[in-house]
Amino acid sequence: MAAPPPLPGFLSDLAPVLEHWGYLAVAVLVFIEDFGIPVPGETVMVAATVYAGAGRLNVGMVAGIAFSAAVLGDNVGYAIGRYGGKRLVVRYGRYVRLTQERVAKAQEFFARHGGKVVTVARFIEGLRQINGIVAGMGEMPWRRFLAFNALGAALWVGTWVTLGYFAGQHIDTLYPAIERSELYLLAALGLVAAVLIVRRVRRRARRTASKRR
């Protein structure tokens, strides 16, 4: 059986990680992303599901590991927020891009929308990484947080596993199409850049001519 083609685009950057670490990469990166550390947890999970669709990993294992890591990671975040709270955010938050302003905005959002935010937060970059911490700081009851957290993890993992696995199964068809679209995109960006450069040169020429007059 011929080896499947390489992963397209930015997913190809994660190929060495998955080749070497496999399921452990999914477990570790999803886990630590979910309590505030800025690592590509979601991205590596998507790449792993594409790998699974291409026959390189087991999709059930990827889904189960990602779900467990997501729930556990958010619970670590909840504990940090509940027992460390603002003191830890003030002292260490800047090292992981967790500023007081960012937390304050998230707390306001949580206060307006309650537990359902924990469910949908996984689909929102930024909120996904800190929703456990914010829920803990807001002293949301742990059982309520756990229920919404597990529901959100199931929906998040289920969505990406389904899409990624489908893409992996059809990667022989999708990969050439993606390559073509990348070429078209680069050509379009080149054209836009050329137009902007020409416009700027013309404006400078007009300004120079008007000053001479």
pLDDT tens for 33-58 read: 888 787 888 888 888 888 777 777 88
Angstrom CA distances, 28 to 21, 24, 160, 189, 191, stand at: 10, 6, 18, 36, 42
The Cα 65–Cα 59 span in angstroms is 10
pLDDT tens for 95-127 read: 556 666 666 666 676 766 667 778 887 888 777
pLDDT tens for 73-84 read: 999 988 988 887
Q: Structural domain boundaries of the chain?
A: 9-169, 172-213
